[in-house]
Structure 1
Amino acid sequence: MPDHPSPYPYPAPAPPSALNPFAVTALVTSLLCLAPLGLIFGIVGLVQISRKGQRGKGLAIAGISASGAVLLLAGIAVTVVDFRVWTPPVRAESGEVAERGWSSVDSIKVGDCFSPGTGAPGRDAPPLGANVELVPCDETHRGEAYATFTLSGYSAFPGRDRIATVARPRCGRLFLDYSMDPVAFGRLQTYFFHPDQRSWSAGKRTVVCWVARPGSGALDVSVRRDASNLDPAQLDFLSALKPLNAEAMLRPVKNPRQDLAGATAWAEEMAEAQAEAIRLLNGAELPGAEQPTEQLVAELEAGLPFWRQAAEASDAETFFGHLRSVDQRNGHKHAGQIRGLLGLPVSAPEPGRTFQGATAPARV
């Protein structure tokens, strides 16, 4: 007799194939931004799925694709973005920068040496929110912060021009408190960072004064040189020339042909500064340098009337004529002799020719 008929007219369906665990893991790790692991798990999953006939091929491919995209974007970012900005500087217990690192412009402290992240000193230097690399001052750098002060007396943002009018002379004079013999470091120019409208609204009022070589020159030493670095005779000599050098830093930016009033006002200030320098030199004790000091005083006294005449010039050509007379009596030779006798660097420009004027290259 025939067997009883099966209750099923067709063969029973085969059980579903297993889901590959690596395919699932590949997708999960890629979504968790663990791209390298997602890529590895996805490849292993595809190999096992092909060999064992498992399910999850779509998951593995999705994991590989997502991980690959993340790795590609990371590779592009490495070539475009400077990740050093995320490495902060290391400071010693004294507060000095011991190891270079990146920080924001408004974190700069007095005495910090730094290089802007982009640009060089000038009006196209670091903008609002820019980063600077703080470095030890005995390593190559572009600038050094030497003073800060707070803008006060303004209920509203005073504007870039007004800030420059205040900051330029103040930064100029403050520098000679920080570095009493700046000519020992070659030609320098003062600059300052200042708040703009946006940062002013955020409560920022600080101006940061800093110094650098004009153009693309670099420094590899701190320009700080105060009384603690000088002997009494050196201090007397540099203090005597300080009024003259301080006023020379404030030479008007505009040519006398553009702004005769500004030029003559500056000449009047230079006359007062030169008279003060003569008075201080006469009272200075400079052992071994008495004779060149007398000669320097004599030349400065001979040049003083021409500063006063320049202050009264009625036109630019007359002004320039008086300045040429001043230059012929600048005392440069005798100042160099005094510096050599006192143990100061002798490659110094003539008195009153130490600096270029300050500019305002950036806002913070």
Structure 2
Amino acid sequence: MSIPPPSGPQVPYSQGQYPQGQYPQGQYPQGQYPQGPYPGQPYPAYQTYPVPPGGWGQPGPPYGAHPRKPPVNGVAIAAFVLGVFCCVPAVGLVLGLIALARIRRRGERGKGFAVAGSVLSSVGLALWVVSLSTGAAADFWDGFRDAARGEGTAYSLEKGQCFTTPSGSLEGVTYDVDEVPCEEEHDGEVFASFELPGGAFPGDDMITRIADDRCYALHDDYAMDTWALPADVDVYYLTPTSQSWRTGDREVTCLFGNTDERGKLTGSLRNDETTLDAHQLAYLKADGVLNTALDSVPSSEYYEDDPIVHKAWAGRVARALTEQTGMLREHSWPAGAEQPVTELIGNLDEARKAWAAAEVATEADLYYTHLDKGYGLMDSERTVTAREALGLPATPPVYGEDGGGAGETPGKEV
């Protein structure tokens, strides 16, 4: 640092009477010093300098070292984060003010974070006040709560619930659904669900095959009486997509829907132990044993294609008829239904004999003869009287050429 010269006219230095570097000694008494070049003006005061680190004569900091920067205030960072996300704006504002006070007192860094957090939190707090006055906050928290619970999504559907989709169709991909009372118009009614095993995504085709097999096998437990299903109703399912699989979605939801893509359902299709009386339940359980055996028909269409498989199927049907008639005999029927059920049992006994003969047939013609006789004795018209007596639907269902569409069930991905 340079020392400014005294004010007034500048007098140039001269070599004077002493050679350079030589000065008179002891000219002035101890403690007396000459005055400045002008009367009344002392020599300039000495310039003071700060004591170096470690004191005079001690080594200072290494050459080129810089002093350590003060730390960033952690409360200021927290205030900034809360201000950005606006999750709890009041807390972000309070933390911002605390951070500013600490920064001034301690000399810490982070004032920009504290100010930004306080401003953002103030804006967020103002928005909260406005939303509370308009009810928007309640709507937000309702939506957040429903999302956390899975409500309003395909994942939240449970057995017995009816719903609509935004598109009004059960085709394609959907996520949002709206549950509605089954008495109102709806797109689908859930009758079962199951979980797929973990691991890598098996592919859409594999999931579709699994869903088709399982859903058709499960629908009889929910709609025990197939005669009660309208002709325009079929089995559908909601399956995971490759994207939802990565989030842990493994559920397949089985449901009833209208075969017309834009068609609607009205009223529940449920008929099980929750809706049937004891006599209706006993009849349908016995009938379900036979239906299960009949549904296990061989994939080969003709006896000649695989005689062993066809004869094994005939044997399963014969044993199912034995079990069915046993269940019907064991139940105590009401007076009005006892006679019709007894007549039905007689027909089923004769049908069992025909199917048992088909099981041991050695020729195709003989096999088909017994098969036709067995089917004739189980004709749906022979069950109408018993059904009417029990208060069950008495109009036989009409099936399409593909037997109801098994294997071609449409599905929707979620």
Within 5 Å, give how 1:1-364 maps onto structure 2.
103-118=152-167, 125-127=171-173, 129-152=174-197, 154-187=198-231, 188-215=233-260, 218-248=264-294, 256=301, 264=310, 269-288=316-335, 289-305=337-353, 307=355, 324-349=372-397, 357=406, 359-364=409-414
Q: Alpha-carbon deviation of 1:363?
A: 2.5
Letter in 1 for 2:163: F
User: Is the partner of 1:285 in helix, strand or coil?
Assistant: coil
* TM-score of the aligned structures, taking structure 1 as reference length: 0.57
Deviates most, 203-212 or 297-306: 297-306
Q: Distance in 2 between matches of 1:105 and 1:316?
A: 50
Counterparts in 2 of 1:316 and 1:235: CA distance versus 1, 3 Å = same
- Does the CA-based 8 Å contact 2:192-2:215 persist in structure 1? yes
Q: Distance in 2 between matches of 1:165 and 1:202?
A: 22
Tell me the number of residue pairs that the alignment of Structure 1 and Structure 2 aligns. Answer: 258
Counterparts in 2 of 1:202 and 1:230: CA distance versus 1, 3 Å = same
Instruction: Give CA-to-partner distance per residue, 1:188-246, whole Å, 9 cap, x none.
Output: 42222222333223211111011134345542101122223222222211121122234
Instruction: Give CA-to-partner distance per residue, 1:240-298, whole Å, 9 cap, x none.
Output: 1122234555667x6726x9669847655544433322221222222232232222222
Q: Alpha-carbon deviation of 1:137?
A: 0.8
Q: Distance in 1 between matches of 2:190 and 2:340?
A: 35
- Report the identity percentage: 32
Q: Distance in 2 between matches of 1:159 and 1:340?
A: 47
- Does the CA-based 8 Å contact 1:249-1:356 persist in structure 2? no
Q: Distance in 2 between matches of 1:266 and 1:118?
A: 43
Q: Alpha-carbon deviation of 1:337?
A: 0.7
Q: Aligned Cα RMSD in Å?
A: 4.2
Letter in 2 for 1:342: L
Q: Distance in 2 between matches of 1:215 and 1:300?
A: 37
Q: Distance in 1 between matches of 2:356 and 2:227?
A: 26
User: Is the partner of 1:228 in helix, strand or coil?
Assistant: coil
Q: Distance in 1 between matches of 2:169 and 2:295?
A: 21
Q: Distance in 1 between matches of 2:403 and 2:281?
A: 17
- Does the CA-based 8 Å contact 1:117-1:126 persist in structure 2? no
User: Is the partner of 1:207 in helix, strand or coil?
Assistant: strand
User: Is the partner of 1:274 in helix, strand or coil?
Assistant: helix
Where does the alignment leave 5 or more consecutive residues of structure 2 unmatched?
Answer: 1-138, 143-150
Letter in 2 for 1:110: K
Higher relative contact order (CA 8 A, sep 6+): 1
Instruction: Give CA-to-partner distance per residue, 1:137-188, whole Å, 9 cap, x none.
Output: 1122232111111122x53333445444543343234323223334224334
Q: Distance in 1 between matches of 2:241 and 2:356?
A: 39
User: Is the partner of 2:186 in helix, strand or coil?
Assistant: coil
Letter in 2 for 1:197: S
Counterparts in 2 of 1:119 and 1:345: CA distance versus 1, 3 Å = same
Q: Which has the larger radius of gyration?
A: 2
Q: Alpha-carbon deviation of 1:338?
A: 1.0
Q: Distance in 1 between matches of 2:264 and 2:364?
A: 36
User: Is the partner of 1:229 in helix, strand or coil?
Assistant: coil
**Equivalent in the alignment of 2:28:** none
Q: Distance in 2 between matches of 1:316 and 1:212?
A: 40
Letter in 2 for 1:176: D
* TM-score of the aligned structures, taking structure 2 as reference length: 0.51
